[in-house]
């Protein structure tokens, strides 16, 4: 079976980390983005196979797209900073 799940990949101080908002508890890391993607693909695969083995319901993909959005905001004071 071939299913697409949304995954979020974030740069960290040591490489990359990934999670899927659609597959609770499934995460992966990697030294490079490519390695992180590979590890996440394997993590989801093993996670779903385990769920099927145990008779759990497999999460259906909910997301159809992800986009970056621009946000404008007023500068409130000089000491405020983006985290």
| Range with lowest mean pLDDT among 4-8, 50-54, 55-59, 72-76 | 72-76
The enclosing domain of 40 has a CATH number of: 3.30.160.250
pTM of the entire structure?
0.79
**What is the 3-class SS of the chain, one letter each residue?**
CCCCCCCEEEECCCCEEEECCCCCCCEEEECCHHHHHHHHHHHHHHHHHHHHHHCCCCCCCCCCCCCCCCCCCCCCCCCCCCC
The domain in which residue 45 lies consists of 1-83
Average pLDDT, the chain: 90
- The domain total for the chain is 1
């Amino acid at each position: 079976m071939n299913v697409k799940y949304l995954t979020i990949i974030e740069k960290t101080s040591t490489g990359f980390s990934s999670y899927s908002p659609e597959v609770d508890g499934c995460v992966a890391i990697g030294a490079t983005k490519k390695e992180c993607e590979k590890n996440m693909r394997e993590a989801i695969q093993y996670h779903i196979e385990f769920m099927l083995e145990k008779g759990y319901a497999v999460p259906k993909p909910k997301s159809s797209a992800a986009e970056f959005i621009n946000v404008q905001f007023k500068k409130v004071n000089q000491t405020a900073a983006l985290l």
